[in-house]
């Protein structure tokens, strides 16, 4: 029993001993903490600050073709637009995947950006490539890497720009743009949140607005692409039918005028044939015109409506890096490390 009691007492750590050990090494705090503070400040203050901006967009998810005013107009021509409705292959949940497409990102190259101070006025591509601030240690590191880096032989596509055949530098810019842009979709509400970041608050806002506009254009073009093709097809048929009708009408009118006083049955039969041909072409023309008007209505019906729930704004304060939190965190970790170092003998002896 006495041996067991002795073992239990040896497992108990006396806090007075712990504090005395820490106090005995108090000079270590005076030496280490100022060094950690200075190094932390040098590190975190060397990293450029960035600003964020975000906008929220609610696209029209269900665009029924069978109802509404345009549906009623089309039905008056004998066209049921409900039969033309098809489901979209690209749902809103897939919109964030657009950032993986080089073409979608590359179309943001020529966005005009201006910083808040008016010192930078260029394209977004040039801003990412040449106008970015970097930490001071990245300059010598980049210089050393360039010395040993093999020559980049990838020049990208020759002639017309090809977003799927990029040079190494263009690919680096595209990846940097992907890091600066975030697309998220709420699965329950379908609300699209576009978040952007940049080293200037006005550029971050400009980028958010540009991505929103680009996304709206993409969605609209995708939703109306088939309808536009049908519209152009029916327009071509209408133009051809109209030309055929006008030609038949001219032939009929010329023949009727030239043979106005002729009473022979053969002339009258030919005149009847020409009149029937003209009437047939007119019927074809009116039928195709009806279908063309229905196709135009379909384009309008398929055009989605967008509701901007939150507009992008110019940030007042930088979003990061959190300098004070970083320095305090490093000081806290250094304090914990010194405390553990001071009392390590207690655990070793036990």
- d(CA 104, CA 238) in angstroms, rounded, equals 35
Please state the length of the chain: 350
Residue range 329-339: mean pLDDT, rounded: 94
- pLDDT at position 149 is 67
Q: What is the pLDDT of residues 294-330, one digit of tens each?
A: 999 999 888 888 888 999 999 999 998 999 999 999 9
User: Token match 């005995």: residue?
Assistant: 24
- pLDDT at position 156 is 58
Residue range 184-191: mean pLDDT, rounded: 87
Residues with Cβ within 8 Å of residue 149, at least 6 apart in sequence: none
Cα end-to-end span (Å), the chain: 21
Q: Residue 259 pLDDT more than 80?
A: no
- pLDDT at position 302 is 86
- pLDDT at position 281 is 92
Residue range 187-213: mean pLDDT, rounded: 93
Q: Residue 264 pLDDT more than 60?
A: yes
Q: Pick the closest to residue 289 from 147, 110, 139, 77 (CA basis).
A: 77
Mean pLDDT score across all residues of the chain: 83
| Cβ atoms of 215 and 194 closer than 8 Å | yes
- pLDDT at position 87 is 54
DSSP β-ladder status, 121-123 and 181-185: unpaired
- The DSSP bridge partners found for residue 51 are 198
- pLDDT at position 151 is 62
Radius of gyration of the chain (CA): 37
Where are the domains positioned within the chain? 1-47+321-350, 48-320
| Cβ atoms of 207 and 180 closer than 8 Å | yes
Q: What is the pLDDT of residues 9-65, one digit of tens each?
A: 455 667 788 888 888 888 999 999 999 999 999 999 999 999 999 999 988 765 444
- pLDDT at position 81 is 44
Name the pLDDT band for 67 (thresholds 50, 70, 90).
very low
Q: What is the pLDDT of residues 130-186, one digit of tens each?
A: 999 988 888 887 777 777 766 655 555 556 788 899 888 899 999 999 999 999 998
Q: What letter does residue 150 receive in the DSSP assignment?
A: P
Q: What letter does residue 292 receive in the DSSP assignment?
A: H
Number of H helices, E strands in the chain: 12, 6
- d(CA 166, CA 312) in angstroms, rounded, equals 31
Q: What is the pLDDT of residues 73-112, one digit of tens each?
A: 444 444 444 443 445 666 777 888 888 999 999 999 999 9
Residue range 255-263: mean pLDDT, rounded: 71
Residue range 193-216: mean pLDDT, rounded: 94
Q: Is residue 130 classed exposed, middle or buried when 0-12, 13-18 and 19+ CB atoms within 10 A define those classes?
A: exposed
Work out the widest C-alpha separation in the chain, in whole angstroms: 144
- d(CA 211, CA 182) in angstroms, rounded, equals 10
**Choice between 346 and 156, residue whose per-residue pLDDT is larger:** 346
């Amino acid at each position: 029993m006495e041996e067991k009691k002795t073992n239990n007492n040896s497992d108990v750590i006396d806090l007075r001993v712990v504090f005395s050990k820490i106090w005995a090494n108090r000079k270590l705090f005076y030496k280490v903490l100022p060094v950690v503070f200075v190094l932390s400040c040098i590190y975190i203050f060397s990293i450029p600050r960035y600003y964020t901006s975000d906008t929220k967009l609610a696209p029209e998810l269900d665009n029924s073709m069978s109802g509404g005013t345009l549906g009623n107009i089309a039905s008056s021509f004998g066209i049921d637009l409900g039969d033309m409705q098809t489901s979209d292959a690209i749902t809103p949940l897939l919109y964030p995947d657009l950032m993986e497409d080089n073409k979608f990102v590359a179309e943001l190259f020529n966005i005009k950006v201006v910083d808040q101070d008016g010192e930078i006025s260029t394209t977004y591509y040039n801003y990412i490539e040449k106008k970015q601030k970097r930490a001071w240690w990245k300059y010598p590191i980049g210089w050393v890497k360039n010395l040993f880096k093999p020559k980049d032989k990838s020049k990208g596509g020759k002639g017309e720009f090809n977003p799927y055949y990029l040079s190494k530098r263009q690919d680096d810019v595209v990846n940097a743009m992907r890091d600066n842009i975030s697309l998220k979709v709420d699965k329950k509400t379908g609300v699209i949140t576009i978040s952007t970041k940049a080293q200037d608050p006005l550029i971050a806002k400009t980028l958010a607005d540009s991505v929103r506009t680009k996304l709206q254009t993409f969605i609209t073009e995708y939703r109306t692409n088939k309808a536009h093709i049908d519209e152009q097809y029916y327009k071509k048929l209408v133009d051809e039918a109209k030309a055929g009708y006008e030609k038949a009408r001219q032939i009929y009118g010329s023949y009727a005028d030239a043979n106005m006083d002729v009473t022979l049955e053969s002339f009258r039969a030919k005149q009847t044939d020409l009149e029937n041909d003209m009437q047939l072409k007119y019927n074809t023309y009116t039928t195709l015109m009806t279908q063309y008007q229905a196709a135009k209505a379909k384009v309008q019906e398929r055009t989605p409506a967008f509701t901007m729930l939150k507009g992008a704004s110019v940030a007042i304060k930088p979003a990061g890096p959190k300098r004070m939190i970083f320095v305090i965190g490093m000081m806290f970790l250094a304090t914990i490390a010194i405390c553990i170092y001071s009392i390590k003998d207690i655990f070793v002896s036990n």
